[in-house]
Amino acid sequence: DAKTTQPNSMESNEEEPVHLPCNHSTISGTDYIHWYRQLPSQGPEYVIHGLTSNVNNRMASLAIAEDRKSSTLILHRATLRDAAVYYCILRGSSNTGKLIFGQGTTLQVKP
Amino acid sequence: DSGVTQTPKHLITATGQRVTLRCSPRSGDLSVYWYQQSLDQGLQFLIQYYNGEERAKGNILERFSAQQFPDLHSELNLSSLELGDSALYFCASSASSGPLLHTGELFFGEGSRLTVL
């Protein structure tokens, strides 16, 4: 699976939108882009995933660049509960299902 | 609640000892994954089982072993424990199979915190 690059940390104010970037310049055509997050003292939880088109769900939106070499996770209105480590992960068709976590982005939300 | 149950939640033991961590996946999930999270290494993939068979292996030490039983629960055995094995151990499960394996969602338990003194 190809590698991703994320900023180590980001800050946001409560109730403002947050854009978490991820670079994956070596992504292959069959790689899905997955986002997970890990709240303090909890296991990781699924946020969203996509292949080519932008995706929305109740938690967030995923904007995928046209060349697929980068993507952005968008939290529309950050809450204090969104403070977590966010992981951008690529999974290819040869992947057995496992997730390989990088260092992720630690998001701090200020009241 | 992810539906994945891990026991024990906390475990304190001494160097050289052996422990067993248990994971009950979500009902019907065939895939089980084990991860180790320490402060300096982040989340490391250890091993994956699918319907009782080992499917993928990651950075799992030879002192560690795992298995998945016919009822689909899994156990991670850690032996000859060292101080550096102190970590959070997470289990995850997934319902996906075949061509959907790389798209399906993983559900993580709350982890077992192992402290080796």
- Tens digit of each residue's pLDDT (9 = 90 or more) over A5-54: 999 999 999 999 999 999 999 998 889 999 999 999 899 999 999 999 99
| B67 φ/ψ angles, rounded to the nearest 5 degrees | -155, 160
Mean pLDDT in residue range B100-108: 79
Is the CB of residue B115 less than 8 Å from the CB of residue B12?
A: yes
Q: In A, residues 14-33, which contact B (CB 8 Å cutoff)?
A: 32
**CB of B94 less than 8 A from some CB of A:** yes
Per-residue model confidence as pLDDT tens digits over A40-99: 989 999 999 999 999 999 999 999 999 999 999 999 999 999 999 999 999 887 777 888
Q: CB-CB: which of B42, B44, B48 is closest to A97?
A: B48
pLDDT over threshold 90, residue B109: yes
* Amino acid identity for residue B38 in this structure: S
Sheet containing A45-50, strands listed edge to edge, beginning at the edge strand earlier in sequence:
A9-13, A105-110, A84-91, A32-38, A45-50
